[in-house]
Structure 1
Amino acid sequence: MIAIGSDHGGYELKQEIIEHLKNRKIEYKDFGSYTKESCDYPVYAKKVAESIIRKECEFGILICGTGIGISITANKMKGIRAALCHDCFSAEATRSHNDANILAMGARVVGAGHALKIVDTFLDTPFSEDERHIRRIALIED
């Protein structure tokens, strides 16, 4: 299951991503925000990250205006590797090399069509399982 969350700045893109997940028949849980009314992105970053830590969801998607604040917040939580990606190459590399468990994007940075390709790349790319990447992830977690 995919955890998804956004602040007001990412609300509209989140709705498009949810429709895309539905079309792909991918289960998701929406952790808010549920309106375009101004709100605080750390609230939603923490909810999504906690669902992954508790193993309720396998991956997360977070969206705010730039993707920066929401990814910083998620990365403060132990066991979370949130990657801010605005292109498919970064989304593929972070899954393959970093075993990232949250994709963060900025709705004011990336258009909806491109964002859906980034989501697909992130969700469809497996972790490489290479020893060097496992070692580096362990160093991150220390």
Structure 2
Amino acid sequence: MRVHLGSDHAGLDLKAHLVAWLTEHGYEPVDHGPFAYDAQDDYPVFCLRAAEGVAVDRKDGLEDSLGVVIGGSGNGEQIAANKVPGIRCALAWSDETATLAREHNDAHVVSVGGRMHPIEDMTRFVEIFLATPFSGEERHVRRLGQVAEYEKTRELPPLPDSAQGHGGQQTQGQDA
């Protein structure tokens, strides 16, 4: 499996660790940088390239290609990766979020915060993400379809019957 990686200065050490770990575990890492520490570098430069690498691979038939983006918190890196058409990137901060990113959301890229957890935990989050398949359950396929359709048309999915008449203004527990 090919795994594209990108980070910023805050994720540089973890990225280097992951490249070695991935190689040792039979993955094919593709490092999109950075390659040297620069406290002023910009995560979009590297994380967009990693997500784009996954998108191109998948378009070319490498359906198991995945990615990892790393920053201080992982938040900005996730946002950047999600801007690449066709890519779903999830922020993982626990074993469960890493599992659900793949199992329920069929995420293609995982984002982790290099300053948020010990390296052993982040490595485990990535390992779980890479090893977990998408469940393919109808409800998850339906939800992902709604998001994909919105991306194409910019039309909101229809409200369910139970939400009709509220106009989005009233929530449960509010007086009418």
TM-score by length of 1: 0.96
Counterpart of 2:106, as a letter, is D
Deviations 1:72-113 (A, max 9, x none): 111122211100101110000110000000010010001101
Report the Cα distance in structure 2 between the residues aligned to 1:104 and 1:64, rounded to whole angstroms. 8
Q: Describe the SS at the equivalent of 2:139.
A: helix
1:52 has 2:54 as partner = yes
The match for 2:136 among 125, 129, 132 is: 129
Question: C-alpha displacement at 1:6, in angstroms?
Answer: 0.7
**Residue identity opposite 1:7 in structure 2:** D
1:31, distance to aligned residue in structure 2 (A): 0.3
Q: RMSD of the alignment, in Å? A: 1.1
Letter in 2 for 1:9: A
Whichever residue aligns with residue 120 of structure 1, its letter is E
| Bigger Cα Rg | 2
Q: Which of 70, 73, 78 lines up with 1:63 in the alignment?
A: 70
Ranges of 4+ aligned residues in structure 1 off by more than 3 Å: none
Aligned residue for 1:10?
Answer: 11
Per the alignment, residue 95 of structure 1 pairs with 102
Equivalent of residue 87 in structure 2, options 74, 80, 85: 80
1:43 & 1:103 partners in 2: Cα distance? 17
Report the number of matched residues. 142
- Matched residues, percent identical? 36
CA distance in 2, matches of 1:71, 1:90: 14
The counterpart of 1:112, out of the listed 119, 131, 136, is: 119
In the TM superposition, what is the alpha-carbon distance from 1:36 to its structure 2 partner? 1.4
Structure having the higher helix fraction is 1
